[in-house]
A and B are shown apart, each in its own frame.
Chain A
Amino acid sequence: MSFIEIDNNKCKSCYLCIDVCPFKLIKKSETIGKTGQNIVEFKDENSKCSACKMCAMMCPDIAITKVWKT
């Protein structure tokens, strides 16, 4: 089961990662981040993440700090 790690203190809620994930595994969360907006969370109930790392490549704030492939 591949997965990503998001640093909640770095996410600025730009939502560029949401657009880029081919499986739509990143969504707005309930948590409010430092920009006053909802930060994002990774939810992959069906183990679809392929560790393509496009979300990490797209994040301008390096808030997606790690991508793990299994």
Chain B
Amino acid sequence: MQQVYSTPKSIKKDSTFTFCAGCDHGLAIKLVAEVLDELNLRENTIAVASSGCSVFLYDFLDVDCIESPHGRACAVATGIKRAHRALNEEKFVFTYQGDGDFASIGLSESLHSALRGENISVICINNTNYGMTGGQMGPTTVLGQHTTTSPNGRNVKYHGYPIKTAEQIALCDGTCFSARVALCDIKNIINAKEQIKKCFEYQKQNLGFSFVEILSSCPTNWKLSPSDSHKKIKEELSEIYPLKVFKDIKEND
């Protein structure tokens, strides 16, 4: 008898995720843990957590973790990466942020980290709302989407357009890798893991700012079942937010 699946080593023993049932945050963190295992990074990683549903990241991942103020994860990661470099220590540093955290309150820190070509990696969860605080409209809320602060649907005249984060980050000269993936079925989960792996490998190779946006479900605030949430991502959201690699400096060369 052969064991073909086991819990990733980078997940803390006996930890239980605090996410709602069927939330893609759990899938995303699991993939991150699998990649940390496969690249043998666990002992050398400092993860930067953010404000949002994933605030307890340090309870889930068995790596060193630091909590950052809302939106400031890239700035904190910059400091950690540079301070260790000054001590001649090369640490693997990544942030795990919601879309509200990365692309709204923290947009300045995020964008300028990419423009500086800061050698850090970012995992950004795009669930089209502010999940933790009750599903308010966020920077990625799509046109027409009903949230607690856009009860009649996001209206372009009143609220403006949503941000396409992975495309914007790809435009920054300091970015070495920018992709958008989803977790709505097995095929997409396999691809998501490949892109996360690439993102992390590029930091190891010192290539600059590497970024993966994960189109994720928020069944609770979307008021859909987990299964219907995945269907919505597959059929609607991935049309608005295309799933592809927007920048890969190795491919472009």
Contact = CB atoms under 8 A, between A and B. Distances in A.
Nearest to A3: B1
A53 B190 CA distance: 12
A12 B22 contact: yes
Contact of B4 (A10, A15, A68): A68
Contact of B2 (A64, A65, A70): A70
Interface of B: 1-7, 11, 16-17, 19-27, 30, 185-186, 189-190, 219, 225-227, 230
Interface in A46-70: 51, 53-54, 56-62, 64-70
B3 A67 contact: yes
Main secondary structure of the interface of B (DSSP, over half): mixed
Nearest to A54: B186
Given A67-B3, A69-B4, A16 B30 contact: no
A16 B185 CA distance: 10
A29 interface: no
A68 B21 contact: no
Contacts of A9: 16
Contact of A66 (B6, B21, B225): B6
Nearest to A20: B186
Contacts of A68: 1-4
Contacts, number: 76
20 contacts: A12-B21, A14-B21, A14-B219, A15-B227, A16-B227, A19-B227, A56-B5, A57-B186, A58-B27, A60-B26, A61-B17, A61-B21, A62-B7, A62-B11, A62-B30, A65-B7, A66-B3, A66-B6, A68-B2, A70-B2
Contacts of A10: 16
Given A15-B226, A60-B17, 13 more contacts: A14-B21, A15-B225, A16-B22, A19-B227, A53-B5, A57-B190, A60-B22, A60-B24, A61-B16, A61-B17, A65-B7, A68-B1, A70-B2
A17 B187 CA distance: 15
B229 to A, nearest CB: 10
Interface in A32-49: 35, 37
Contacts of A69: 1-4
Contacts of B30: 60, 62
Given A16-B227, A19-B227, A60-B24, A65 B6 contact: yes
B16 A57 contact: no
